[in-house]
Amino acid sequence: MLVLDSAALRRALPPRTAVQLIRDALRDGLDPEAEAPRTAVPVTAGSMLLMPAEWRGHLGVKLVTVDGRPHPVRARVQGTYALFDAQTLTPIGLLDATELTRIRTAAVSALALDTVASSGPVDLVVFGSGVQAGSHLRAIASARELARVRIVARDRGKLAAFLAELAAEGISAEPAGARAVGEASVVVCATTSRSPLFDGTALRDDAMVIAIGSHEPDAREVDSATVGRSYAIVESMANSSRENGNLLLAQADGVVPRGITTLSRLVREPFLPPPGPTVYLGSGMAWQDLVLASHCITLTA
C-alpha cells in the first residue's frame, strides 16, 4: 500500500493540474448529485467528518477532524485519506488528507473562476491568512495576472507573517479592511467566521465572490445582500440544500440568488451568467478528494 505525504501530493498536484483533473472528471460524467452525504460526528474537542465516494475503479473515504478550539500552531483541520480498489475492495493508498483538502478546495474554486470570470488582470481581495487563503491566492496567481492583492485578516501577527511569506514568493500583497471589496474584481472568503465578512451592497457589479469557509447550515461568510445580488454557483443542488449556510441563511432571510446553477453544468454546457455579481458557494465534497487521490496513486504506482 502506497503512503503519500504532503510533499508527494504537492509534487503530483500543481495548481493547474488539479484544476484540470476536476474539470475532466465533470466533463466525463461524474455526477456530484449522486454523492452520499457527509457524516459529521461530534467529539469532545470538535467534530470528525467522514466523506466517502466512488469513481472509476476507486473507492475512497476522507476522515478528518475539525478542531473547535483556536490553536496558534496546530492545524484546525487534520486527517487521513484511505483509497481502495473498487473491484477487489483492497486498500491501495493512504494520503495526507490535510494537504489533499488544501489542494482540492482551491482547485475547485479556481475552476469556478475559470468558468465565469474574464481573463483579464485580477484585483483580488482575500479574507483570511491561513492555509486556504494562501492556497486560493496561489491557485489564482498560477492562472491569472494579479493587478493588486489585498488581505483582510483579524490576527495582525498572522497577517504580517502571511504577507512576508507571499513576498518571499514574489507575490506583492498589502493589508486592507473589509471596504476593499468595493474595488475588487474577485473576493475570496477563506475563514472560519460564522457571520458575514463584508457588506454585499458594496460589491462591484462585475465582481466574483468565492466563499468556501462554511460547510455547516448555520454558518456563513457572505451576507444575504451578496446572495440576493448574485448569480450563484454551487457544487451540487443536493449538497447545498443540506449544508451550505451561505445559501441557507440567506433563504431564511427570504432572499434567493438572481439565479443558481451547478459547477458541473457550467463545465459541460458553458454559458455566461447574466450581468451582475457572481458568487461561488463551496462547502467541499468527497468526489473532489477522490479524483485527485486517484490521480496521485496512479501517478506514483
Task: Give the Cα separation of 225 and 277 in Å (integer).
Answer: 11
Residue range 16-25: average pLDDT?
97
List 196's β-bridge partners, or say none: none
Q: Are 171 and 145 in contact (CB under 8 A)?
A: no
Nearest of 240, 200, 204 to residue 221 by alpha carbon: 200
DSSP state of 68: S
Instruction: Dig out the grid coordinates for 291 from the structure.
Output: 479524483
* Gap between the Cα atoms of 14 and 208, Å rounded: 23
CA distance 138 to 132: 10
pLDDT for 8? 96
Mean pLDDT of the chain: 95
Asked whether this chain's domains 2-101+287-300 and 104-285 adopt the same fold, the reply is no
**Second CATH level (architecture) for the domain 2-101+287-300:** 2-Layer Sandwich (3.30)
Question: What is the C-alpha separation between 10 and 49, in angstroms, rounded?
Answer: 23
Q: What pLDDT is recorded for position 71?
A: 74
- CA end-to-end span of the chain, whole Å? 9
Cα distance between residue 252 and residue 256, in whole Å:
9
The pLDDT score that the predictor gives to residue 68 is 80
pLDDT band for position 58 (cuts 50, 70, 90): very high
Fold of 104-285: Rossmann fold (3.40.50)
Enumerate the β-bridge partners of residue 234: 262, 281
- What pLDDT is recorded for position 50? 96
Q: Where are the alpha helices (DSSP H) in the chain?
A: 6-12, 15-27, 97-116, 131-141, 156-168, 224-229, 237-243, 245-252, 263-268, 286-300
For the entire predicted model, the pTM comes to 0.95
- The CA distance from 26 to 20, in Å, is 10
Q: What percent of the chain has pLDDT over 90?
A: 89
**CA nearest to 150, candidates 179, 130, 170:** 179
- pLDDT above 90 for 69: no
> Is the pLDDT score of 225 beyond 90?
yes
Q: What percent of the chain has pLDDT over 70?
A: 100
Q: What per-residue confidence (pLDDT) applies to 87?
A: 96
Choice among 18-22, 137-141, 212-216, 265-269 with the minimum mean pLDDT: 212-216
Beta bridge partners of 281: 211, 234
* pLDDT bracket for residue 75 (50, 70, 90): confident
Q: What is the pLDDT of residue 137?
A: 97
| Cell numbers linked to 252 | 431564511
Q: Domain boundaries in the chain? A: 2-101+287-300, 104-285
- Of 9, 191, 39, 238, the C-alpha closest to 107 is 9
Residue 88: pLDDT over 80:
yes
Tell me the C-alpha distance between 75 and 108, whole Å.
21
- pLDDT-based confidence at residue 56 (cuts at 50, 70, 90): very high
Mean pLDDT across 190-199: 94
Model confidence at 237: pLDDT above 90: yes
Positive/negative CA dihedral, 284, 193, 77, 136: positive
How many residues does the structure list for the chain? 301
**pLDDT tens-digit readout, 92-145:** 999 999 999 999 999 999 999 999 987 889 999 999 999 999 999 999 999 899
Give the list of residues 6+ apart from residue 115 with CB closer than 8 angstroms, or none. Answer: 233, 263, 266, 267, 270
